[in-house]
Amino acid sequence: MTDELIERLSDSLRPTARYGVQRRLLLPVVGGLVVTTFLMLMLLGPRPDIGSAAATASFWIKSGYTFALAIAGTWAVERLSRPGGSARRPGLLTALIVAAMAIIAVAGYDLAPPDMREVVVWGSSALVCPFLIAGLSVPLLAAILAAMRRLAPTELTRAGAAAGLMAGGFGAWVYSFHCPENGLPFLALWYSLGVVIVIALGAISGRSVLRW
Amino acid sequence: MDEKQLHGLMTASLAGDASAYRRLLGALTPPLRSYFRRRLHADLTNHAEDLVQETLLAIHSRRMTFDPSQPVTVWVYAIARYKLIDLLRQARKGTHIPIDDIAEFIGDPSIETEDAMAKRDVDTMLGTLPDHTAAAIRNVRLEGRSVAETAMATGLSAASVKIAVHRGIKALKKRFGEEV
């Protein structure tokens, strides 16, 4: 019976497209980003001072930090969508990104005048920021998990967490065009918390959703 | 066969070389079989061959996830391990029904003389189910085909075949009582 199966499988063999995994992941990224951007523009809107903000370092650090997390997450997803794949190196990259951000945040706190310190940590949206990031990331997370299922993740919790990092990174990146905050400690704390929420969502749902 | 040879066959298979692919799957089958046999105990031992086939099917349908910069052995082992864990998880949850209970029912000595009648009864019962569910049960439970083969023949995934069989049997039990 097994020999017959091997015969049938061999007869139906077709050449495999190169970079198949990367290609399958491209669609959810593009599709998810379109949906998330649309949601951000419709529900929240870009920050009113986006023109002048684009001239500040804080704006680009925010954009850079979140985008870097998204890239590390994408790398981890690409590795963990394969049986036996290891996310050690993407994990290391994530740790480096977070460490760099922490150093920048501490410097930002130290450099702020004492009466501004509360503002650079709490801003005016600390309590909503993580949840808005998580909310915006949900369509991305769903699209990424759906694409991963058609690949072959074998460590489902980790793979789900990687999907969360990727979705949360991209979601936070989109959110950064709305977010009016300029404080670097704010970014390090509340953006990171938002991404952590999405990582947790991904890890928890991955266990069942990613089964194939 | 060592990793180097397997890797060569795998690379050729991805390029579409059917004879390399046949040799690859052939070479992987014995180690997979002994892997599953060693790890399945008690009433699950008879699933070893099912798992071998499911692993071969998974290798086939997910072969694009093989990264040529990594060893084939690691990739195949991870798939086999995943399939094993999946089976054990189902068994633990109690959703697993021994593969031969309907066959036993038909093979029951007390109704052997009424073989034809029993068969007609089964046909009647299966007739109350949706076509694809009835077909799945017929294949897996009555004709003794493996889940993997049924999946190949019907174009469904192995998981859907298992679910169809499970739900179908459950529905029959509900309708016709525990004698099913």
Reply yes or no on whether the pLDDT at A165 is more than 70.
yes
Of the pLDDT bands very low, low, confident and very high (cuts 50, 70, 90), residue B179 is: low
Q: Average pLDDT for residues B36-64, to the nearest whole number?
A: 89
Name chain B contacts of A158, Cβ cutoff 8 Å: none
Whether residue A2 and residue B29 make contact (CB cut-off 8 A), yes or no, is: yes
- CA angle A185–A187–A190, rounded 5-degree value: 100
Domain range annotation of chain A: 24-209
Range A34-46 burial, b when 16+ CB lie within 10 A, else e: ebbeebbeeebee
Please state the φ and ψ torsions of residue B155, each to the nearest 5 degrees: 80, 0
> Which of A50-54, A167-171, A173-177 shows the lowest mean pLDDT across its residues?
A50-54
The average confidence (pLDDT) of chain B is 80
- Any A CB within 8 A of B89 CB: no
Whether residue B25 and residue A6 make contact (CB cut-off 8 A), yes or no, is: yes
- What whole-number distance in Å separates Cα of residue A184 and Cα of residue A122? 10
For chain A, list the strands marked E by DSSP. Answer: none
Whole-number Cα distances in Å, A108 to A49, A70, A118, A125 = 21, 23, 12, 18
- What whole-number distance in Å separates Cα of residue A169 and Cα of residue A133? 9
Residue whose pair of structure tokens reads 């369509």 in the numeric block: A139
Q: Average pLDDT for residues B163-169, to the nearest whole number?
A: 81
| Residue B142 or B168, more confident | B168
Range A142-181 burial, b when 16+ CB lie within 10 A, else e: bbbbbbbbebbbbbbbbbbbbbbbbbbbbbbbbbbbbbeb
Which residue of B62, B77, B86, B87 to mutate against A (max A Cβ within 10 Å)? B62
Q: Hey, what domains does chain B have and what are their CATH numbers?
A: 3-93 (1.10.1740.10), 101-176 (1.10.10.10)
ipTM above 0.85, yes or no: yes
Nearest CA in chain A to B13: A15
- What whole-number distance in Å separates Cα of residue A175 and Cα of residue A70? 13
Supply the DSSP string of A135-191, one letter for each residue: HHHHHHHHHHHHHHHTS--SSHHHHHHHHHHHHHHHHHHHHTTT-----HHHIIIII
B85-137 residue pLDDT tens: 988 888 777 654 555 555 555 555 554 444 555 666 777 777 778 777 888 88
Whole-number Cα distances in Å, A73 to A10, A142, A164, A189, B17 = 35, 15, 8, 19, 34
What pLDDT score was predicted for residue A12? Answer: 87
- Any A CB within 8 A of B90 CB: no
Q: Average pLDDT for residues A98-109, to the nearest whole number?
A: 96
Reply yes or no on whether the pLDDT at B37 is more than 50.
yes
Whether residue A16 and residue B86 make contact (CB cut-off 8 A), yes or no, is: no
Which residue of A2, A25, A212 to mutate against B (max B Cβ within 10 Å)? A2
Query: Percentage of residues in chain A with pLDDT exceeding 70?
Result: 100
Reply yes or no on whether the pLDDT at B40 is more than 90.
no
What pLDDT score was predicted for residue B116? Answer: 55
Residue whose pair of structure tokens reads 């985008």 in the numeric block: A67
Residue whose pair of structure tokens reads 């031969």 in the numeric block: B100
Q: Number of residue pairs across A and B with CB atoms under 8 Å?
A: 93
Of the pLDDT bands very low, low, confident and very high (cuts 50, 70, 90), residue B159 is: confident
| Residue B94 or B61, more confident | B61
Q: Based on C-alpha coordinates, what's the Rg of chain A? A: 20
What pLDDT score was predicted for residue B180? Answer: 53
DSSP-derived 3-state class of residue B145: coil
What pLDDT score was predicted for residue B111? Answer: 45
Query: What's this model's pTM, rounded to 2 decimal places?
Result: 0.77
What pLDDT score was predicted for residue B112? Answer: 44
Reply yes or no on whether the pLDDT at A33 is more than 90.
yes
